[in-house]
A and B are shown apart, each in its own frame.
Chain A
Amino acid sequence: MKKSKLIAIFVFGSTIYACTEDVKRDAKEEAVNEKLTTEAEAPIKEHLDRAYYPIPSPEQMFGFISDNGVAYSNQLMNTTDKVESYTDPSAQALNFGVYTADLAYAAAYQDIEATIKLYKVVKRLGSEMNISEIMTQETMSKMQENMQDPDSLAVIAGDSYYQAVEFLEQNGQEGKLALMSLGGWIESLYITLNAIGDFEENPKTVQRIADQKITFGNLYTYLKKHEDKVGVEGIINQIHDVRDVFASLREERSGKATNTKENGKMVFGGGTKIAISKSQFENLKTAINEFRSKITAIEA
């Protein structure tokens, strides 16, 4: 009896112990599960929590200046033989942007020879940045087939920019994307500022340049968001002069935001007009030229 009591106590005790251990194990596993689930969800959350700051591609600016009668000058583009000297990843990303902008410029003005040459340069630099898979032989053939169709040429040239953007985003290379966007935007502004010549010559284009203050704001925010990525902080520190000129441009509010329908078309009014004076225009030109000169310089 005594023995059987002992056995019963042992069995009961073991059961209780086992249950407690099970509960503990379950709690522990649940905690681990919770932790792992949270970790597994992290990439999703990281992706979801983003705010998006897309930058208009350079081709939009060149389409605009071409429509507004600004003359073409192939001297303004970065020389293609410099491509070999860009070996540092940040310099490659910046100049990938520069060359894609040049490609869009040449295509917008139907400079076929330069377009082909630049396409090869972009493809080569893309390959060094491991994004060559987006620029296939098929695209190259398509480009050669559409040589006589300027619109198609511009679309194909623009596509290489969009594909690069998509590729870098998909592969979590936002730092390179930020640098590439900056390089492309700087080049489009450099070409525009130097192609129009005098401040008085083309008021519409001058206004478009002033409006770049908004684009710069988005671009700068995007750079700041990724300043922890390689090369981004360094470039932010070099862009103060450009930033200061844009900051000095006065913004004139023309009233409350409105939303009206005119002839069936919705018109967003109110808004802000950004004003630029002749001296600010010259200051911006100097700041952009200096910055562009730094990023396209041959590495020592």
Chain B
Amino acid sequence: MKILFFSLIAFLTIGSSVAQSECHMYHKKNCDDKEGIMMKYDSQSKSAVIAKGQTSEFHLVAYRNLDYRVIICSDEVLGEQVQFKIYEKKKVYTHNKEETTSSEEEYSEESSSETSSKRSTIPEHRIVKELLYDNSTDNYSNKIEFTAETTMSLLIEITVPGDGGTSKLKLREIGCVGVLISHIKSQPTGF
């Protein structure tokens, strides 16, 4: 029995580190960026281990006057319908008595740049997120190209479908997800 326990532990531990190291630079190796115009690699790209049924957050700064391409790629084990939504994070100053509109959702962040400063008279605010894009309404496309009119603080929410699960053998249910971001200076279009 003991042998079984320790085999299980070793399996899980080694498996976990293998899974994590296998995800190292996963986005560079697996997110196909051959279609479309050539763009520069953006250092905000990232890979992570995600479990079925889990939602992970990814924060991104999109500068104005740049065109961005975001490609999400994932291990087969996670299925084909990885959902991703792009939100804009916004501050709503509470002293303005602004109401949250129907398209906005409260967003809780551990600490923003302006909270809890002891020395500043910083206005109170909440962070809300407003939905800009949802790939489930775009045939679960794994790629989007966009331009930001102003510099934007974006939140990419990635959800892997499936039962969050009570199974102990999480190894069966986890895989790599890569977010490859590239950018290029916006080119004016038209005559």
Contacts and interface: CB of A to CB of B under 8 A. Distances in A.
Interface string B99-132: 0010100000111111001011010000000111
A247 B103 CA distance: 26
A47 B113 contact: no
B110 A221 contact: yes
B150 interface: yes
Given A244-B119, A271-B148, A170 B113 contact: no
Contacts of B150: 254, 271-273
B140 interface: no
Contacts of A224: 110-111
Contacts of B44: 54-56
Contacts of B41: 158
A33 B12 CA distance: 12
Interface in B158-191: 168, 170, 174, 185, 189-190
A256 B149 contact: no
Interface in B19-60: 19-21, 24-25, 41-46, 48-51, 54, 56-60
A199 interface: no
16 contacts: A37-B12, A40-B16, A54-B43, A54-B59, A56-B44, A60-B63, A67-B185, A216-B113, A218-B59, A218-B61, A221-B111, A221-B113, A243-B114, A267-B148, A268-B132, A270-B149
Interface of B: 1, 5, 8-9, 12-13, 16-17, 19-21, 24-25, 41-46, 48-51, 54, 56-64, 67, 86, 88, 90-91, 101, 103, 109-114, 117, 119-120, 122, 130-133, 144-154, 168, 170, 174, 185, 189-190
Interface of A: 29, 32-33, 36-37, 39-41, 43-44, 47-48, 50-57, 59-60, 64, 67, 158, 161-162, 165-166, 170, 207-208, 211, 213-218, 220-221, 224-225, 240, 243-244, 246-248, 251, 253-254, 256-259, 262-263, 265-274
List the 7 shortest-distance A-B pairs measured between CB atoms, nearest first: A217-B113, A57-B43, A271-B150, A40-B12, A211-B151, A257-B130, A54-B44
